[in-house]
């Protein structure tokens, strides 16, 4: 069992580190099927919505708080369809909307994102467990 735990730690250490939507999009488009490399991301929370077993988070590039405010205001001037090329949607199992880490504008560290894909031009499908998300200080 210890050997298997060490193997998993090694896999986690070799994960892809992302801080932009474009980096995640590139991984989704260029990853070979069956390639299950781990993905970690540090991003800003742009929005959130409840679903039956958790929360859908809409994430934005990692940036300063001032840039986030300016960019999110500008993003709201785009049509909903156009906004989708700039954000990443992730499903968080076992989470609730009132979780104190899910404050819009917060910098979040998602330590293990699974099943990232592009569907109809929208980057999403990512799944992350609530226990694998931490709120970072600015």
> Which class for 88: exposed (0-12), middle (13-18), buried (19 or more C-beta within 10 A)?
buried
Query: How far is the C-alpha of 71 from the C-alpha of 94, rounded, in Å?
Result: 29
Class of domain 2-136: mainly beta
* pTM, full prediction: 0.85
Q: Residues 6-23, buried b or exposed e (16+ Cβ, 10 A)?
A: eeeeeeeeeebebebbeb
Domain ranges for the chain, please list them.
Answer: 2-136
Tens-place pLDDT, residues 11-41? 666 678 999 999 999 988 886 555 556 789 9
């Amino acid at each position: 069992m210890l050997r298997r735990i060490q193997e998993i730690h090694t896999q986690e250490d070799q994960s892809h580190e992302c801080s932009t939507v474009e980096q995640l999009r590139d991984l989704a488009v260029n990853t070979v099927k069956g390639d299950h490399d781990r993905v970690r991301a540090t991003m800003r929370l742009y929005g959130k919505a409840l679903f039956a077993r958790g929360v859908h988070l809409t994430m934005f590039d990692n940036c300063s708080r001032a840039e986030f405010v300016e960019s999110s205001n500008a993003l709201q001037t785009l049509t909903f369809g156009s906004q989708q090329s700039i954000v990443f949607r992730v499903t968080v199992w076992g989470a609730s909307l009132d979780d104190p880490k899910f404050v819009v504008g917060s910098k979040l560290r998602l330590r293990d994102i699974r099943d990232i894909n592009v569907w109809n031009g929208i980057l999403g499908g990512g799944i992350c467990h609530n226990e694998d998300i931490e709120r970072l200080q600015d």
